[in-house]
């Protein structure tokens, strides 16, 4: 067996055997298969895809590439994972809500990928916050506070760690079997009893069409079921950025505001739906009771208390919750104004993510260093009426990027109509239960 033969097979759309898939994953993790050959195979998978059997084999080979853990928290562990979006700060809202309702959330999260943001990058914008805590501390924190959010350690799913970074740099992210195996390998290796998947669909998601999002959701639920986990997928809209903030510290601030009961309605709808599904999967009550419980955890302040507790246990400065000036502050800002009267009929979501990345909020190469202050805050969103000269958004950065040139490009991501669209996109589109 050689990697050259395996790349050639996949290039010609021939199914790979279980042995070949196991051999590739082991070889890439050990370093005997170099990045350039793995990149070629990933690109062949992007074009020719994988069968259900190959996807399951790849997921299992990746999950087994490192330690398989089962956090002994003493309770039912629920995990949540998003397929990646723009302005998607739901983990920061949902995990504290669910923990406040008495369900454990030991959460291993990822970094930004392509034009989408990552929870670990967002959390690291909190001064002092440590996302690389030892496993024993991670479990102890969950036992104490009900939640902990950390990055994957090197010993957990090293195959995904390496492949994820490579995909990010080789434009091989948007493939259903690669996304499925990446997400599900992590979920299976981290031993959650219940898994709630937020499958994003639309311009800002990796899945641009509803059909693809549904296929991805069904593939992940199928793999979860095969592995004996209670798994549910929620398909949610990513046709426009979620909420109003895009960028690391800007999104943490918006999540804190959400836990203070001041979130934009789209962000709150997605967050409460995911939280309710997590509570339901954990057997906390009927669907209605779980939704009510999640809402109450926000209105009575208990979810915000959980976020504070988590920040403190992971070494962060929890005073940021009441004083946003404690986050690093951007050096430069630029306002963008409406060029005409009308209604905003669209905001290109992928371009928003790419512009945020160019401002410094994401990585252009594997080695890029993130500017936590960079990003965008929207004043207006899809469906809003605007008059010429009204403020649409503000861009922020502390890097030496050309913010004026970027703001001119940014102005083009808005589209306008004379009348308001009477049928706005549904935010939560479908819930697929695998149990
Ligand atoms: N999130 C992941 O963890 N992996 C992907 O491939 C995409 C989103």
Q: Domain residues of the chain, as ranges?
A: 3-48, 78-322+429-433, 328-417
Local structure of residue 136 (DSSP, 8 states) = H
Residue with tokens 């759309």: 13
pLDDT of residue 384: 96
Please state which architecture CATH assigns to domain 328-417. Alpha-Beta Complex (3.90)
Is 380 within 8 Å of 393 (Cβ atoms)? yes
> Is the model's pLDDT at 351 over the cut of 90?
yes
Atom of ligand 1 nearest to the CA of 186: 3
Distance 182 CA to ligand 1 centre (A): 6
pLDDT of residue 231: 96
pLDDT of residue 152: 78
140-167 pLDDT, tens digit each = 999 999 999 999 777 889 999 899 889 9
Q: Around Cβ 426, how many Cβ atoms within 10 Å?
A: 11
- Residue 233: band (very low, low, confident or very high) from pLDDT cuts 50, 70, 90: very high
What is the average pLDDT value for the chain, to the nearest integer?
A: 95
Verify whether ligand 1 is closer than 6 Å to residue 183 (CB atom).
yes
> Is the model's pLDDT at 174 over the cut of 90?
no
What average pLDDT does the segment 100-117 reach?
89
Atom of ligand 1 nearest to the CA of 178: 6
What DSSP line would sit under 249-312, residue for residue?
HHHHHHHHHHHTT---HHHHHHHHHHHHHHHHHTT-S-HHHHHHHHHHHHHTSHHHHHHHHHHH
**Which of 47-51, 149-153, 238-242, 327-331 comes out lowest in average pLDDT?**
149-153
What average pLDDT does the segment 70-99 reach?
94
At the fourth CATH level, the homologous superfamily of domain 3-48 is Transferase, Pyrimidine Nucleoside Phosphorylase; Chain C (1.20.970.10)
Distance 199 CA to ligand 1 centre (A): 10
Name the residue of 85, 161, 168, 183 to mutate for ligand 1: max ligand atoms within 8 A of Cβ.
183
Picking from 177, 164, 188, 223, the residue whose alpha carbon sits closest to that of residue 63 is 188
Q: Which residues are catalytic?
A: 81, 160, 167, 182, 186
- Residue 117: band (very low, low, confident or very high) from pLDDT cuts 50, 70, 90: confident
Residue nearest atom 6 of ligand 1, based on CA coordinates: 179
pLDDT of residue 74: 86
Verify whether ligand 1 is closer than 6 Å to residue 293 (CB atom).
no
Distance 178 CA to ligand 1 centre (A): 8
374-384 pLDDT, tens digit each = 999 999 999 99
- Residue 42: band (very low, low, confident or very high) from pLDDT cuts 50, 70, 90: very high
> Is the model's pLDDT at 236 over the cut of 90?
yes
Torsion of CA 61, 36, 355, 318, to 10 degrees: 50
Residue nearest atom 1 of ligand 1, based on CA coordinates: 83
270-324 pLDDT, tens digit each = 999 999 999 999 999 999 999 999 999 999 999 999 999 999 999 999 999 999 9
CA distances 249 to 85, 240, 245, 273, 372, Å, are 16, 20, 9, 24, 6
pLDDT of residue 168: 85
Is 410 within 8 Å of 403 (Cβ atoms)? no
Secondary structure class of 230 (helix, strand, coil): strand
> Is the model's pLDDT at 435 over the cut of 90?
no
What average pLDDT does the segment 412-423 reach?
93
Give phi and psi for 424, each to the nearest 5.
-60, 155
Secondary structure class of 181 (helix, strand, coil): helix
pLDDT of residue 389: 97
Q: Around Cβ 227, how many Cβ atoms within 10 Å?
A: 16
Between CA 207 and CA 200 the distance in angstroms is 7
CATH 3.40.50.300, applies to 78-322+429-433: no
What average pLDDT does the segment 313-337 reach?
98
pLDDT of residue 311: 98
Distance 208 CA to ligand 1 centre (A): 15
More confident residue, 75 or 50: 50
CA distances 203 to 92, 279, 337, 349, 374, Å, are 23, 30, 23, 6, 22
């Amino acid at each position: 067996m050689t990697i050259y033969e395996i790349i050639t097979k996949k290039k010609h759309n021939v199914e790979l055997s279980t042995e070949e898939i196991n051999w590739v994953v082991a070889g890439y993790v050990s370093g005997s298969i170099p990045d350039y050959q793995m990149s070629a195979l990933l690109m062949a998978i992007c074009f020719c895809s994988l069968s259900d059997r190959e996807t399951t084999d790849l997921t299992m080979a990746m999950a087994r590439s490192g330690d398989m853990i089962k956090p002994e928290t003493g309770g039912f562990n629920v995990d949540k994972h998003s397929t990646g979006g723009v302005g998607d700060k739901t983990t920061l809202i949902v995990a504290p809500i669910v923990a406040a309702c008495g369900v454990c959330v030991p959460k291993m999260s990822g970094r930004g990928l392509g034009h989408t943001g990552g929870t670990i990058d967002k959390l690291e914008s909190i001064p002092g916050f440590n996302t690389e805590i030892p496993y024993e501390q991670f479990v102890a924190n969950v036992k104490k506070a009900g939640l902990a959010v950390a990055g994957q350690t090197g010993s957990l799913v090293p195959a995904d760690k390496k492949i994820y970074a490579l995909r990010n740099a080789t434009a091989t992210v948007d493939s259903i079997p690669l996304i499925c195996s990446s997400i599900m390998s992590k979920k299976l290796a981290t031993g959650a009893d219940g898994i709630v998947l937020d499958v994003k669909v639309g311009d800002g998601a990796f899945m641009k069409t509803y059909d693809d999002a549904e296929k991805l959701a069904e593939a992940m639920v199928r793999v979860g079921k095969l592995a004996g986990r209670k798994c549910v997928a929620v398909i949610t809209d990513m046709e426009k950025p979620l909420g109003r903030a895009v960028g690391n510290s800007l999104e943490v601030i918006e999540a804190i505001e959400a836990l203070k009961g001041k979130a934009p309605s789209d962000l709150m709808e997605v967050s409460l739906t995911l939280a309710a599904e997590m509570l339901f999967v954990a057997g906390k009550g009927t669907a209605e009771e779980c939704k009510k419980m999640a809402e109450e955890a926000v209105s009575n302040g208990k979810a915000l208390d959980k976020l504070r507790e988590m920040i403190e246990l992971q070494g962060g400065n929890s005073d940021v919750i009441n004083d946003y000036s404690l986050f690093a502050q951007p050096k430069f800002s630029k306002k963008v104004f409406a060029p005409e009267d009308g209604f905003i009929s669209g905001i290109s979501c992928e371009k928003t993510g790419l512009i945020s990345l160019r401002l410094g909020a994401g990585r252009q190469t594997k080695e890029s260093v993130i500017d936590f202050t960079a990003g965008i805050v929207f004043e207006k969103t899809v469906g809003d009426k605007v008059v010429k000269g009204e403020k649409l958004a503000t861009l922020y950065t502390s890097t030496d990027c050309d913010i004026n040139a970027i703001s001119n490009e940014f102005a083009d991501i808005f589209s306008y109509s004379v009348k308001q669209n009477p049928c706005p996109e549904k935010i939560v589109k479908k819930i697929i239960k695998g149990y």
